[in-house]
Amino acid sequence: MNLRPQRRMAAEILKCGVHRIWIDPERLEEVARAQTREDIRRLIKEGAIRKKPIKGQSRVRARKRHEQRKKGRQRGPGRRKGAKGARMPKKRAWIQRIRPIRRKLRELRDSGKIDRSTYRKLYMMAKGGYFRDTSHLLAYIEENDLWKK
């Protein structure tokens, strides 16, 4: 039974594609007899012809991947595009490293744990990129016994 013309008319009336038209399998003969748009409209009203809902795109996998990435997974060398300096510019990385070190130095100087000359010396070393992070700075102070007596 060829229902192509009926399907096409129904698609035009319902303003959707022919693949979204659902025809009741129990009323196929009745739909096949429908010749005019008027007949198709009547069948739509009766519920013999309907418009199927739009198929969405599931976000389940995307959510799962996002959760994994929050844990640090799926970020290995195979996923990376762009150089190291493109993903995190050198300047940004430097700023993120130097600010906490300088903050720590200020804190140590202001609380009187190191004197001004030691502060200056360590500040210049930090500026030269000597320290990796604040724990490295503190380890250096400890190692060289630079605490104020």
Q: Which domains does the chain have, with CATH numbers?
A: 1-49 (1.10.1650.10), 87-142 (1.10.1200.60)
Single out the residue of 42, 47, 38, 50 nearest to residue 7, CA to CA: 50
Neighbours of 67 (CB within 10 A): 10
State residue 54's pLDDT score: 94
CA angle 22–54–51, rounded 5-degree value: 25
Mean pLDDT, 10 residues at a time, the chain of 149 residues = 95 97 96 96 97 96 98 95 94 98 98 97 98 98 94
Structure tokens at 59: 């976000």
For the whole model, what pTM was predicted? 0.58
State residue 149's pLDDT score.
83
pLDDT of res. 1 = 83
Q: How far apart are CA 64 and CA 87, in angstroms?
A: 23
Phi/psi at 23 (5° precision): -115, 130
